[in-house]
Amino acid sequence: MPAETLARRPAPLRRILHGGGIWPAVPALVFLFVFLLLPMVTLLAFGFLTIERGRIQPDSFTVAHLLHALQDDLVWRLMWRSFWVAVVSSVLCLLLAYPVAYLFAETKGIWRTLILVAVISPLLTSALVRAYAWIVILGGRRGMLNQALLSLGLIEEPLRILNTDWAVLIGMTQIHLPFMVLPLLAVLAERDRRLEEASLNLGASRTGTFFRVTVPMSVPAIFAGLALVFAVSYTNFIVPQLLGGGAYSTLAVQVYEQTVVVLDWTRGAVLATILLSTCFAFVLAIVALGNRLARWNEVAKP
Amino acid sequence: MTTLLGRRSLGGLALAALATPQVARAQSRELVIVSFAGQLQEPHQWLARRMEARHPGLRIRLVPSEAQDIVAQIKAAQGHSPFDAMPNGEPPHLIAQREGYITRLDPAKVPNAANVVPEFMAKSGGFGVPASYSLVGIAWNTRVVRREPTSWEDLWHADYRGKVAIPRASSNLGLAVLAIIAKVFGGSEDNLAPAWERLAALRPVVGRSPTALLQLLEREEIGVAPIWNNDVAGAAARGLPIRFIQPAPGPVSLLSFMSEIANTRHPELVHEWMNEILSPEYQQRAANEPYFFGPTVRGVAVPDAAKPYTPSTPAEVARLQSVDWSKIAPVRGRILEQFDRTFS
C-alpha cells in the first residue's frame, strides 16, 4: 500500500495495518479467552451457584458455599498440606538445581549440551510415567530401594516410604526439578563474570564471592524458579494420588474427587476457587519478595 | 458446453468426494460401549466380535473406564453422551438413574431379561439388566502373613498389625467395605459410626483404588486387604501368592448392571447387546476362568474353577451380604469427607 494512502487513514487503523499495537497478539488472546479464561470463569462461577442434576438452578447465586468451605477445618488442613509440600519441594528443587545450573555455566562444548539434554529429557516423559517409576523404586519389599538395602544388610525390615509425605516430596522434587534448573541455567550462564573477578581481586575468598556476588546475581532466576515450582507443586494432583496413597489428600485431589467422583460441582468449584486464588496470592508474594531482593540489581534508567 | 460439462463433472466428483465419508458413516455404524479394563474386558470383546459378525458394517468400540468417570463425562456433556451403553456397579447405577443418564428397561426388547434371577432383577430399579455380580472378600499374601484370615473381624487380629490395607471410600469397593464393617460391629448403612471408630483404630494403609490395593499386595507392602474376587483371581492366575477368602459372616455381593445410556443413537443395537449379555453363552464364558463374574441368569452353572471365587452352593449363596445402596449412594460425598477427616 502506498505510503501516502496509509497516511490518509485514521491513526488507529494505520497502526493496525502497520502491525502495531495489540493486533499481532489478537489470535493468541482470542484463543486464551475462549479456551482458558471462559472455561475457568465458568467453572469458578459454579461455586457461587446451586446445581441440581447438572442444571443451574435459577436465582441461586450465593456465597454460602464459599463461606461454608472456608469454615471447614478439613479444607484448611488440606490447604496447609498443599502449601507445606509445595514449599518444601520448591526449596529442595533449589538446593538440587543450583549446583547443576552452576556446573552448566562453568562447562563448555559437549558437556554443556549433555547437561542441557539431561535437564530437559525428563520433560519429554509424562509426569504420570515418572510417578510410576518412583512406585517401582520405592514400593515395598520388592521395590528397588528396599531390595538393595535388604541385600546389603543395612536394614532388616523394608522401609515404608511409599504412601507417606516422603514419597510425595521425592516425586514432586524430581518431577519439578527442570522448572527450577532452566531459569537458573539462563541467568548463571549469562552472568557478568567481571563482578566475580573484581571480588576475587579485592581479596574475597571463592566461597565469599559465590555467596556475596554470584548468588545475589541469580536472585531473579531463583525466585522465578521458586514461583514456577511452587505453582506446579501446589496444584499437582497426580503425584499425591499415586505416591501419597489413598489416605493422602490435598486441595487439588479434593477438586478432582468432588467434581468427578462425588459429582458435587459446586463444592469442586469452590475448592478450585480457593486453590487458584491462594496459589495466585502465594506466587505474587514470591515474585514480590524476589523483586525486593533484586532491587539493587536494577540499572537506573537515565 | 464442454467446459460446462467439465465443470459439472468436476462439481459432481467434488460432491461425491465430500459425501463419501457421510455415506461410509451411515453404512458403518459404531456402537460405543463402556467396558472393563485389562483381562476382564475379554468377555465383552468376544460378544462384540459376535455382534459385528452378525451386522456387517457395525463396529463396536469398547472404552475401558470407571463408571464414575463416565457418569461425570455425561453430566459435563449435559446428557449428550458419546457412549451407548455402560456397566455400572450398584452405587453409580442409582446415581445414573437419579440423574436421568440411563434409560428405563423395556423387557419386551430384551427377551433374555425374563431368565434373570428375580431378586437380581428387582435391584435394577427398572433400569438396565443385571449382567453379573462380584464379591468383596479378603485377599491375603501368603508370603507376608502365615495365618489365613477367616472373618471380617480378623482384619484387627494381632498377627496382621501394620499389614492391613483398606480401599479409599471413593470407590464402590471402599463403600462396600465401610458398610460391611459397620454391620459386623453393630452398625448399619444408616449408622456408619462403628466402622469409622474401628477403622481409625486399625491404622491401615489406604489404597486409592482397587488396583492400587492389589499392587500393595503384589509388592508385599501389606499382607491383607478387602478386595474384589475378580482382581484376586487375576493375580492368582499370574502365579502371585495371593489368595481370596469369603470372610464370615459372608462376603459382600455387588451387582453390575448393563444399561442403555439416554439418547443413544442405536437403541435397537443396545437392546441386542443387553440381550446377548444375558445369553447363557456369554454368562457361562464370563463366569469361567479367569474372569469369574457371578452369573445372574438362571440355569448357568458355576464352573469348578470359579468355586474359590463365586458361591456355588445354596449355603454359600445364603451367606452373601448385601448393602442397601439407596442409603449409601446419596451421602457418598459426606462419606468421602468423613474418610478424609479420619485418615488424611
Q: Which positions ≥6 away from A124 have C-beta within 8 Å? A: none
CB atoms within 10 A of CB A120: 13
How high does pLDDT run on average in chain A? 89
d(CA A10, CA A8): 7
State the pTM of this model: 0.82
- Is 60 exceeded by the pLDDT of residue A301? no
**DSSP structure class, residue B141:** E
- Is 60 exceeded by the pLDDT of residue B293? yes
pLDDT digit string, tens, across residues A74-109: 999 999 999 999 999 999 999 999 999 999 999 999
Mean pLDDT, to the nearest integer, of B133-145? 96
Q: Do B99 and A54 touch (CB under 8 A)?
A: yes
- Is 50 exceeded by the pLDDT of residue B4? no
pLDDT digit string, tens, across residues A234-266: 999 999 999 999 999 999 999 999 988 888 889
Domain map (residue ranges) of chain A: 1-48, 65-297
Q: What is the CATH number of domain B28-133+254-311?
A: 3.40.190.10
Q: What confidence tier does A15 reach under pLDDT thresholds 50, 70, 90?
A: low
How far is the CA of A19 from the CAs of A27, A244, B66, in angstroms? Answer: 13, 51, 50
Mean pLDDT, to the nearest integer, of A61-84? 94
pLDDT digit string, tens, across residues B205-231: 999 999 899 999 998 889 999 999 999
A237: amino acid identity, one letter: F
Angle B26-B31-B34 from CA coordinates, rounded to 5°: 160
Mean pLDDT, to the nearest integer, of B28-43? 90
Are B28-133+254-311 and B134-252+324-343 equal in CATH topology? yes
- CB proximity under 8 Å: A 150-169 to B: 158, 160, 162-163
Domain at A65-297: CATH architecture: Orthogonal Bundle (1.10)
- CB proximity under 8 Å: A 163-202 to B: 163
Q: Do A245 and B220 touch (CB under 8 A)?
A: no
d(CA B210, CA A114): 42
B313: amino acid identity, one letter: T
Looking at the complex, does the CB of residue A241 fall below 8 Å from at least one CB of chain B? yes
Confidence (pLDDT) at B9: 42
Determine the distance from the C-alpha atom of residue B54 to the mean position of all C-alpha atoms in its chain, rounded to a whole number. Answer: 26
- Is 80 exceeded by the pLDDT of residue B26? no
- Asked if residues B290 and B233 have their Cβ atoms less than 8 Å apart, the reply is yes
If we measure between CA atoms, which residue out of B229, B331, B210 comes closest to residue B286?
Answer: B229
Confidence (pLDDT) at A140: 77
Domain map (residue ranges) of chain B: 28-133+254-311, 134-252+324-343
Confidence (pLDDT) at B15: 41
Least confident span in A10-24, B128-142, B319-333: A10-24
Confidence (pLDDT) at B8: 40
Main-chain phi, psi angles of B131, to 5 degrees: -90, -35
Q: Which positions ≥6 away from B166 have C-beta within 8 Å? A: A246, B155, B174, B177, B199, B202, B204, B205, B206, B207, B225, B226
Confidence (pLDDT) at A52: 74
B48: amino acid identity, one letter: A
- Is 90 exceeded by the pLDDT of residue B180? yes
- Is 60 exceeded by the pLDDT of residue B44? yes
pLDDT digit string, tens, across residues A126-157: 888 999 999 989 987 778 998 899 999 998 88
Residues constituting chain B: 344
Count of CB pairs separated by less than 8 Å, A with B? 88
Q: What confidence tier does B17 reach under pLDDT thresholds 50, 70, 90?
A: very low
Main-chain phi, psi angles of A158, to 5 degrees: -60, 140
- Is 80 exceeded by the pLDDT of residue A299? no
How high does pLDDT run on average in chain B? 89
Q: What is the CATH number of domain B134-252+324-343?
A: 3.40.190.10
CB crowding B238-266: b at 16 or more within 10 Å, else e? eebebbbbbbeebbbbbbbbbbbbbebeb
Looking at the complex, does the CB of residue A43 fall below 8 Å from at least one CB of chain B? no
CB crowding A229-263: b at 16 or more within 10 Å, else e? bbbbbbbbbbbbbbbbbbbbbbbbbbbbbbbbbbb
- Asked if residues A196 and A249 have their Cβ atoms less than 8 Å apart, the reply is no
